[in-house]
Structure 1
Amino acid sequence: MRIARFATDEGMSFGVVEENTVAAVAAHPFGELTFTGQRLPLADVRLLAPILPSKVIAIGKNYAAHAREMGGEAPAEPMIFAKPSTAVIGPGEAVAYPEKLSERVDFEGELAVVIGRMCREVPAARAAEVILGYTCANDVTARDLQKKDGQWTRAKGFDTFCPLGPWIETEADPSDLAIGTTVNGETRQDARTSQMVHDIPALVEYVSQVMTLLPGDVILTGTPEGVGPLEIGDEVTVTVEGVGSLTNRVIARE
């Protein structure tokens, strides 16, 4: 099932995408879905970020080849950091390049986990019970500020630096999916989720030992090798097999 959040002239709704239509649901997508009976052509709605999380928890250096390209080795335990909810944008929305503050902004294509219910201290063996589904993500990063600051909050936290979408796929098996990123149609990242150092059940267990996860919270599972700079005017697309594709254009921050 593909759960989307979308906008029309009448407002915002959640819905289930079925081929070229979207069937609206009442309220939120957590728990049993109640359909309103409204069905709209997908082409007539604007897809939004599929969820507005209370927090985005990201995992650093979770692909060994990426850790090496950044000049280090993958950590023995997951390396976690946070992105603010205000960084979240949806498919088709613009990533705003903060030219006055940064001279290098990178893409980082990732698979994102969407939490389906409040939970804490979840054993890895039961992680699937608390996951609503999966979506595509781009952990946009001001690379020069990351190096300058020595910690990652500013570099990762700019408004628009967390594109998510196009929807939440609830039935994907995330253990071995192709994941890739293109910039202006040119392939920059090409990997598989099976190459993660710490798999998704391990990440849910680790993060939930630290903090309570709420419905709609997002865990970014790390980026594979091939990260690189974006320029104003670029179009960047993150594609995850069985989930979908997320495309955003880069503009100058006003």
Structure 2
Amino acid sequence: MTGLDNSSVIVTGGGSGIGRAAALRFAAERANVVVADLDGDRAAAVVEEITAAGGAAAAVVGDLSEQAVVDRVVATAVEAFGGVDVLVNNAGIMDGMTATADVTDEEWERVLRVNLTAPFLLARAVVPHMLAKGRGAIVNTASEAGLRGSAAGTAYTVSKHGVVGLTKSLAIMYRTAGIRTNAIAPGATTTAIASPLDRTGHGPKTLMPYMANLGRVSGADEQAAVIVFLASDAASNLNGVVLPVDNGWSAV
């Protein structure tokens, strides 16, 4: 990929799954990577893997729905690697495929805070640094649930539709400033993300029949490959795109 050599990249949820795969791919392109994750051991392990291969990386541990953690992530990228060239908003949590009438305040607030507010906070924090450089790329991890109503519960579906809206708003707001914002919409993917699923609930029972169309389960690296592409100069004229990476599920 072009334009990534010696760039400063933030990857959230970088300790496992799609985030880990993306962090390693960026490092392979000779980018400097800030691995942000709630799990300190996982973040440290990814940093160690990158540095052992001759790359440069730093870990920041904390809950990205907290402004202080966001500030620390961005400060680390600026101080260690000279700014922020790429932001990958990948960290997220599942809901329990819960139907609207059954969603608790706690589930709603936590899912929206992690999946939507955190990407907003990070984007708000990095855009000034990208404006100063006159360029930058933001890649958000949306979901099939951001494209349809049948792929997850109410809270998760709303959060990922919000990520799609955030992606498009950023794209149009900063298109003339050299900042591109795109998103992937993964289908079923092998990751460590877990859903507190009660299969007897109305939501899961309603949604399960639609899951027959999800197709092949992808590997995390297949999603990461598209993230790195969207962040690179190879995608220089892509802006505001929400790209399904789902083996055709969204076409069914």
Q: TM-score, normalised by structure 2?
A: 0.28
Higher-RCO chain (CA-CA 8 Å, sequence separation at least 6): 1
* Higher strand fraction (1 or 2): 1
Q: TM-score, normalised by structure 1?
A: 0.27
